[in-house]
Homo-oligomer: A and B are copies of this chain.
Amino acid sequence: MSQQPPEPGFHMSSEEFRRWGREVIDWIADYHERVETLPVLSRVEPGAIRRALPEHPPEQGEGFERMLADLDEKVLPGITHWQSPNFFAFFPANVSYPSILGELLSAGLGVQGMLWTTSPACTEIETLVLDWVVELLDLPRTFHSSGAGGGVIQDSASSATLCALLAARHRAAEAPAEALVAYASTEAHSSVDKAMEIAGLGRDRLRRIAVDADRALDPAALSAAMAEDRAAGRRPFFVVATVGTTSSLAFDPLDAVGAAARAEGAWLHVDAAMAGTAAVCPELRWIHRGLEQAQSYCFNPHKWMFTNFDCDCFYVSDRQALIDALSVVPEYLRNRASESGQVIDYRDWQVPLGRRFRALKLWFVIRHYGIRGLRAHVRRHVELAAGFARWVESHPELELAAPCRLNLVCFRHRRGDRASEDLLEALNASEKLYLTHTRLDGRYVLRMSIGQTRTESRHVEQAREAIDAIVSNGRLPGSA
Contacts and interface: CB of A to CB of B under 8 A. Distances in A.
A57 B368 contact: no
A340 B45 CA distance: 11
Given A128-B53, A351-B162, A368-B62, A9 B332 contact: no
Contacts of A223: none
Contact of A104 (B44, B60, B107, B119): B107
A304 interface: no
A351 B158 contact: yes
Nearest to A17: B97
B194 A309 contact: no
A335 B143 CA distance: 38
A122 B14 CA distance: 28
Contact of A11 (B44, B363, B453): B453
Contacts of A155: 155, 352, 354
Interface in A218-240: none
Contact of A373 (B1, B8, B95): B8
Interface centre among A8, A59, A194, A308 (most CB of B within 10 A): A194
A213 interface: no
Contacts of A14: 29, 32-33, 97
Contacts of A325: 197
Interface in A348-403: 351-356, 363-364, 366-373, 376
Interface stretch (A20-28, A251-259, A460-468): A20-28
Nearest to A326: B194
A294 to B, nearest CB: 21
B17 A308 contact: no
Interface residues of A, number: 152
Interface string A393-417: 0000000000000000000000000
Contacts of A199: 198-200
Contacts of A11: 96-97, 453-454
Number of copies: 2
Given A46-B342, A100-B104, A370-B60, A110 B124 contact: no
Contacts of A8: 368-370, 373
B9 A330 contact: no
A132 B57 contact: yes
Given A331-B438, A352-B156, A9 B132 contact: no
A302 interface: yes
A118 interface: yes
A73 to B, nearest CB: 11
A284 interface: no
A159 B133 CA distance: 28
Nearest to A114: B90
Contact of A372 (B9, B17, B193, B331): B9
A120 interface: yes
Contacts of A97: 11-12, 14, 16-17, 20-21
A61 B373 contact: yes
A121 B79 contact: yes
A197 B372 CA distance: 44
Nearest to A203: B328
Contacts of A110: 82-83, 93-95, 100, 308-309
The 4 closest A-B pairs by CB, nearest first: A78-B121, A9-B373, A200-B200, A21-B25
Given A58-B371, A156-B353, 15 more contacts: A1-B32, A14-B32, A14-B33, A17-B97, A17-B100, A31-B108, A46-B340, A57-B135, A57-B367, A60-B370, A61-B368, A67-B368, A79-B122, A95-B107, A194-B326
